[in-house]
Structures are given as C-alpha cells and as structure tokens.
C-alpha cells in the first residue's frame, strides 16, 4: 500500500520555524485558494446524528474520545479538499488516518511541540481550516480566548483531545466493544463505539463502527435535554 506523506513541521518557533510556517501558509493559499465560506465543515455520515450541521467554523470542540475517533472526525472535511493539522501526537498513525479517509498530502503534523505548544497552535490556526491538538495540560483561559478570537476571524475549527474552556460541544465515549476476535485468533470484524455529544444543553448519541471502511453508524438516539450537573 502506497501512502502520501504528511507535511512535518519543526516544533521550535525560531526564525527557521517561522519561515517554515510562512512557506506553508503560502502553499496552502495557492493549493486551496479559499477558506470555508459556508460556516461549517462536513463530517462523515456516521457523525451526522451528532453534528447535523457539521463542525462549525470559528468553534472549538472538546473530545473525550480515542485518537481514532478524532481522526475520523477530520476525515469528512479532508476528503472534501480541506487542509488539516495535528499537534501533540507523537504516535499519530498516518496509515490509520488514511484508512479513515484523511488525505495525507493535505495534512500537517507537529508530533511534539514541547514547550512551544501554544505558539505553534496559534500559528497553525492562522493557516489551517481544521486543527486537531493535544495539549500538555490545561490551557489558560486567556490563551483559549486568544485562539477563539482567531478561530472566529478565520472561520477555522479546533478539535481538542481533552477539556477546553468555552468549547462549542463535548464529545464523549460512553462504551466500546470489539467483535470478531476469539481467544488469540480471528479477525476484527467490528469496533463498536457509543458516542455522546453535548451541545447547548442538548445531548445526542450514536453508535458507530470504527472497523468498517469509511466508518458507519449502527444506531442513533434522538436529541434530549442534558442531565443536570453535566459538563460543560
């Protein structure tokens, strides 16, 4: 299987790093030509019950899910021609990402930004429509507000693995199971993941199969009021 290679960026925001980011920005502007103008980014059909309008431009989402689910969330927009990025994932599997439908030659990776996490993320928010990040810890409210302002100005979407101040919605895993594996033998036929998304006081649920090509929805639930004491 032949895979394209994602763009790898240096973590340090020194002069060379700044030059690389500027070069990337010019490249994206030439190849993509425009930002999202419809106000949202598409998701795979299996996520439509959770995000019927897609990922909203100008918003940040908190993800309490495995990296595989986060990859699948990026795949819909990537397949439609959008550039995506991932910051803070030393074990980001490009073959798995391609399997979900992420186009690798429109993917920017910064596996380990180290102490420069915030300036790297801030720089990439300026040039990438969609960005998946994993931070070193809780982000200060002032830093989150600064990134939120840039997201709204540029109509980008930020997916954060973990909590995020003033997030648009929170996606959680409520259960997971594997099918097709015996006692040390057999082939994986299904990876069922039960997801719940809370947004503006409403909770939606869906069961998806991450083991299916393209990811499919197995069951969905109607939107209902969020239980008292829920977060956010």
Using CB atoms within 10 A of its CB, is residue 21 exposed (0-12), middle (13-18) or buried (19+)?
buried
Is the pTM above the cut of 0.85?
A: no
Residue range 183-228, pLDDT digits in tens = 555 555 567 889 999 988 889 999 888 876 455 555 555 555 655 4
Which residue segments constitute the domains of the chain, with CATH numbers given? 17-169 (3.40.50.300), 173-225 (no CATH)
- Scanning the structure block, which residue is given the tokens 């030439």? 30
Predicted pLDDT of residue 149: 93
* 87-111 per-residue burial string, b: 16 or more CB within 10 A, e: under 16: bbbeebebeebbbbbbbbebbbbbe
Give the Cα separation of 62 and 193 in Å (integer). Answer: 17
Q: Is the pLDDT of residue 14 over 50?
A: no
Residue range 74-129, pLDDT digits in tens = 999 999 999 999 999 999 999 989 988 999 999 999 999 888 899 889 989 988 99
Kindly report the length of the chain: 232
């Amino acid at each position: 299987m032949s895979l394209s290679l994602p763009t790898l960026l240096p973590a340090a925001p020194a002069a060379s790093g700044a030059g690389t980011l500027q070069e990337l920005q010019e490249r994206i502007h030439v190849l993509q030509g425009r930002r999202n103008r419809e106000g949202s980014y598409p998701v795979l059909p299996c996520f439509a019950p959770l995000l019927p309008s897609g990922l909203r431009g100008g918003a940040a989402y908190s993800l309490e899910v495995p990296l595989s689910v986060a990859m699948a969330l990026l795949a819909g927009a990537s397949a439609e021609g959008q550039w995506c990025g991932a910051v803070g994932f030393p074990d980001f599997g490009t073959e798995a990402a391609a399997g979900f439908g992420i186009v690798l030659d429109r993917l920017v990776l910064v596996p380990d930004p180290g102490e420069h996490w915030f300036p790297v993320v801030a720089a990439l928010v300026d040039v990438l429509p969609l960005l998946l990040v994993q931070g070193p810890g809780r982000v200060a409210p002032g830093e989150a507000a600064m990134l939120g302002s840039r997201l709204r100005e540029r109509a980008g979407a930020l997916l954060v693995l973990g909590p995020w101040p003033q997030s648009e919605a929170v996606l959680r895993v409520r259960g997971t199971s594997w099918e097709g594996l015996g006692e040390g033998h057999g082939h994986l036929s299904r990876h069922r993941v039960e997801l719940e998304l809370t947004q503006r006081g409403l909770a939606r649920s869906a069961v998806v199969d991450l083991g299916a090509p393209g990811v499919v929805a197995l069951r969905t639930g109607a939107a209902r009021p969020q239980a008292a004491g829920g977060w956010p």
